[in-house]
Structure 1
Amino acid sequence: MKIVPVLDIKGGVAVHAFKGKREEYAPLTTWYCPSPNPVEVARFLRDLYSLDEVYLADLDAIEGKEPNIDLYRRLRGLGIKVMVDAGVERLEDALNLSRHVDRVVAATETLRSFDELRKIASELGPDRVVASIDVKGGRLLARNLDLSSPLEAARRVKGAGLGEALLICLDDVGTLRGVDLKLTREILEATGLRLLVGGGVRGLDDLVKLSGIGVQGVLVGTAIHRGLLRPEDLKRVGHLVSD
């Protein structure tokens, strides 16, 4: 199972995400880094956890501002791969973003259509693109898609030619109350997608449960930042967290 730490960026600094209430996000505090500077946070994650990839939610870009391209470059300069959600709506956005990141996230929250997702997957190739199935209140979070079912969205992702997707339950982000195993299992069984699950991870028990139902990776923010998942914890279950 792949463990990917999460960095949420707003106003150029790392912030603590909580239930998708972006207007309330405060600068990130962690047990391992004295600063919310995302480059410093990423450096500590690399050195302490030996993790080589981060999921970066560029909240400024998602809300319509310019992407933090210089930040992406600086993170890559640390030898860290960056998977970035920068509010991609259409193919042109994905192509522009792909010049500066390792993997482009095409999220249902902002995606213009599943036709656009097909174009993005075809143009960049499935290894450079990962769809994000965003869920809020049990329904698909989507500004432009005429669709409310996360399961149906997962089927459309598969139909667009992608084999991997993120499943992010925004109501659980930052809460440490556990992951949505029921929805995760439904999507796995119905689609066979390789899933990276985010939102609500509390610690090792959740990793074990997710691994047990066939999840390929986990996005972890708060549990790492607050020290509930320490480097020694991941080493102790190395067979779970290796690629």
Structure 2
Amino acid sequence: MQVVPVIDLLAGEVVRAVRGERSTYRPIHSALCSGCEPLAVARALLDYTGSSILYIADLDALTGGVPQAGVLAALLAALPATTIWLDGGFRDASAFAALVRQLGADGNRVAPVFASESLASPQAARDAFLHHPGAILSLDRRGDQILDPAGCWTDASLWPARVIVMTLERVGAFAGPELELLASIRRRAPGAMLIGAGGIRDAADLDGAVAAGADAWLVASALHDRRLAPHAVPR
């Protein structure tokens, strides 16, 4: 099991995500570091987990604003050994390409996360994974509501080699991971790298996620609150 630390960026600060209710997010308070400055938080999470990957949700872009290209460029420059998985609300392949052009050579270390809630259409999904073979699909859900204008949940032929199962209602809620859902996606994609998101409370939850078929999990709150001790984080 690989733990991938997460930062949610809003107006240049790291905020704490709770249940996907973005209007309620507030600046992060972490036991790992002081303040909400992105580089300080990113370094603390990477050091704590030993991860070489950082997942970033650009909430400005996700809510229809301007992508935080300056913040992303600064993080890439300061963290040369880190790969960023970026959810920037990309509607299609061209939206990601436009951002990468602003990042220069360091943009090669950014893997786009194309989210089912953001992709504009099935054709946009097909084109995104055709033009960006290293891209990641995020299958997004909030409660019983599938967030999916592109039809990604129903059409597994669209799925790339890496798939996130994003249960937004469990993010930051310490409600436990939705393992039955993850196991159902595993049955449909036996060869994919399957990444869970939302609900992790402790090391026992990570063990349960492995048993359900997860290869990795996106984690933020359980790290900031030290619910996962460094020695309990699988490397």
The one-character-per-residue Cα deviations of 1:48-107 (angstroms, maximum 9, x if unpaired) are 332211111101001111111122122222132111111100221022234435200100
The one-character-per-residue Cα deviations of 1:106-152 (angstroms, maximum 9, x if unpaired) are 00111101211111111121x2x00111101222113x34x5xxxxx
Q: Distance in 2 between matches of 1:54 and 1:87?
A: 17
Where does residue 181 of structure 2 map in the other structure? 183
The residue matched to 1:205 in structure 2 has which SS? Answer: helix
Give how far 1:230 is off: 2.1
The one-letter code matched in structure 2 to 1:122 is L
List structure 1 runs of 4+ shifted beyond 6 angstroms: none
Q: 2:146 aligns with which of 136, 140, 144?
A: 140
Where does residue 168 of structure 1 map in the other structure? 166
Q: Distance in 1 between matches of 2:215 and 2:122?
A: 23
Q: Distance in 2 between matches of 1:52 and 1:220?
A: 14
Task: State percent identity of aligned pairs.
Answer: 28
What runs of 5+ residues in structure 2 fail to find an aligned partner?
102-106
The residue matched to 1:211 in structure 2 has which SS? Answer: helix
Where does residue 111 of structure 1 map in the other structure? 119
Report the TM-score, using the length of structure 1 for normalisation: 0.88
The one-letter code matched in structure 1 to 2:58 is D
The one-letter code matched in structure 1 to 2:128 is I
Report the TM-score, using the length of structure 2 for normalisation: 0.90
Give how far 1:44 is off: 1.5
The residue matched to 2:96 in structure 1 has which SS? Answer: helix
What runs of 5+ residues in structure 1 fail to find an aligned partner?
148-152, 235-240
Where does residue 69 of structure 2 map in the other structure? 69
The one-letter code matched in structure 2 to 1:130 is I
Where does residue 150 of structure 1 map in the other structure? none
The one-letter code matched in structure 2 to 1:213 is A
The one-character-per-residue Cα deviations of 1:177-236 (angstroms, maximum 9, x if unpaired) are 1011111111111232321100111010111011112211100011001110121222xx
Where does residue 232 of structure 2 map in the other structure? 233
Q: Distance in 2 between matches of 1:155 and 1:119?
A: 17
Where does residue 136 of structure 2 map in the other structure? 130
Q: Distance in 2 between matches of 1:72 and 1:53?
A: 14
